[in-house]
Amino acid sequence: MRSIVRWPFYRRACPHRAALHGEFLRLLFFLSNKQADDYFATLGYEAHKEEFCHRRGVFFYRNRCTIGLACAQAVALRGAPSAWRVPRL
Query: Is 67 a domain residue?
Result: yes
Residue 41 lies in a domain: yes
- Cβ atoms of 28 and 63 within 8 Å: the answer is yes
Owning domain of residue 39: 22-76
Domain count, the chain: 1
Per-residue confidence (pLDDT) for residue 46, from 0 to 100: 92
pLDDT of the residue at 78: 72
From first to last of its 89 residues, the chain has per-residue pLDDT tens of 445 545 455 555 555 555 667 788 888 899 999 999 999 999 999 999 999 999 999 999 999 888 888 877 877 777 666 655 555 55
pLDDT at 1: 42
- Which residue in 55, 61, 75 sits closest to 3, CA to CA? 75
Q: Looking at residue 16, what DSSP letter applies?
A: B
Q: How far apart are CA 64 and CA 21, in angstroms?
A: 12
In a domain, residue 36? The reply is: yes
Q: What is the pLDDT of residue 76?
A: 77
